[in-house]
Amino acid sequence: MGRRRDAALRGLPAVHELAAELDAPHSLAVAAARRAIEEQRSLLIAEADAGVSLVQRARGHLAALSSPSLRSVINATGVIVHTNLGRAPLAGSAREAVARAAAGYCNLELDLESGARGSRHAHVEGLLSELTGAEAGLVVNNGAGAVLLAAAALAGPGSAIVISRGQLVEIGGGFRIPDVIAQSGSAMIEVGTTNRTHRRDYERALRAPGTPVGAILRVHQSNFRTLGFVQEVAIEKLCELGAPVIDDVGSGVLTGAAGILAFGDEPDLKRSIAAGAALVCCSGDKLLGGPQAGLVLGTGDAVAVAREHPLARALRIDKLSLAALEATLMLYRDPVRARREIPVLAMLDQSENVLTARAQRLRSGIGEPAELIRTSSRPGGGALPLTELEGPAVALDAVVEPAGLAARLRDGSPPVIARIHDGRLVLDPRTLADDQVDLVVRAVREALAAG
Burial (CB count within 10 angstroms: exposed 0-12, middle 13-18, buried 19+), residue 324: buried
Percentage of the chain surpassing pLDDT 90?
77
Q: Say whether both 271 and 369 belong to one domain.
A: no
Most confident of 21-25, 236-240, 401-405: 236-240
Q: Say whether both 120 and 219 belong to one domain.
A: yes
Q: Say whether both 117 and 132 belong to one domain.
A: yes
Domain that holds residue 262: 92-341
* pLDDT average, residue stretch 49-67: 89
* pLDDT average, residue stretch 166-179: 83
Distance CA 150, CA 102 (A): 30
Distance CA 165, CA 212 (A): 19
Residue 371 has pLDDT above 70, yes or no: yes
- Single out the residue of 348, 417, 421 nearest to residue 387, CA to CA: 348
Q: Fill in the amino acid letter for 40.
A: Q
Q: Say whether both 54 and 183 belong to one domain.
A: no
266 vs 353, higher pLDDT:
353
pLDDT band at 391 (very low <50, low <70, confident <90, very high): very high
| CATH code for position 402 | 3.90.1150.180
Residue 388 has pLDDT above 90, yes or no: no
226 vs 207, higher pLDDT:
207
Query: 1-5, 205-209, 257-261, 410-414 — which is least confidently predicted?
Result: 257-261
Q: What is the pLDDT of residue 166?
A: 92
The one-character DSSP state at 388 is: -
Q: What is the pLDDT of residue 262?
A: 54
Q: 375 phi and psi, to 5 degrees?
A: -150, 180
CA 309 to chain centre: 26
Q: Say whether both 141 and 287 belong to one domain.
A: yes
Q: What is the pLDDT of residue 401?
A: 87
Q: What is the pLDDT of residue 398?
A: 66
| pLDDT tens, residue by residue, 215-227 | 999 998 877 778 8
Q: Are strands 419-421 and 424-427 parallel, antiparallel or unpaired?
A: antiparallel
Q: Say whether both 99 and 162 belong to one domain.
A: yes
* pLDDT average, residue stretch 200-218: 94
Kindly give the interhelix angle for 26-45 and 2-10, rounded to the nearest 10 degrees.
Answer: 170
Q: What is the pLDDT of residue 47?
A: 80
Q: Fill in the amino acid letter for 120.
A: R
Q: Say whether both 369 and 431 belong to one domain.
A: yes
Q: What is the pLDDT of residue 381?
A: 75
Residues pairing with 75 in the sheet:
417
* pLDDT average, residue stretch 141-145: 93
Q: What is the pLDDT of residue 34?
A: 95
Percentage of the chain surpassing pLDDT 70?
96
Last residue of a domain, one of 318, 341, 364: 341
pLDDT band at 1 (very low <50, low <70, confident <90, very high): low
Is 414 within 8 Å of 440 (Cβ atoms)?
Answer: no
147: Cβ contacts below 8 Å, ≥ 6 apart? 177, 180, 217, 219, 246, 248, 281, 294
| CATH code for position 287 | 3.40.640.10
Q: Say whether both 53 and 175 belong to one domain.
A: no
Mean pLDDT, the chain, whole residue set: 91
Q: Say whether both 300 and 359 belong to one domain.
A: no
Q: What is the pLDDT of residue 283?
A: 94
Distance CA 202, CA 18 (A): 71
Is 366 within 8 Å of 388 (Cβ atoms)?
Answer: no
Q: Say whether both 162 and 44 belong to one domain.
A: no
* pLDDT average, residue stretch 431-450: 94
Residue 345 has pLDDT above 70, yes or no: yes
Residue 243 has pLDDT above 90, yes or no: yes
210 vs 190, higher pLDDT:
190
Q: Say whether both 140 and 102 belong to one domain.
A: yes
Q: What is the pLDDT of residue 407?
A: 94
Last residue of a domain, one of 341, 368, 395: 341
| pLDDT tens, residue by residue, 250-298 | 888 886 544 445 566 788 899 999 999 999 999 999 999 999 999 999 9
Host H or E run for residue 94: helix 92-103
Kindly give the interhelix angle for 319-331 and 92-103, rounded to the nearest 10 degrees.
Answer: 150
Last residue of a domain, one of 286, 316, 341: 341
Distance CA 334, CA 343 (A): 15
pLDDT band at 55 (very low <50, low <70, confident <90, very high): very high
Q: Say whether both 136 and 281 belong to one domain.
A: yes
- Single out the residue of 150, 415, 412, 163 nearest to residue 297, CA to CA: 150
Instruction: Name the domain count of the chain.
Output: 3
Residue 158 has pLDDT above 60, yes or no: yes
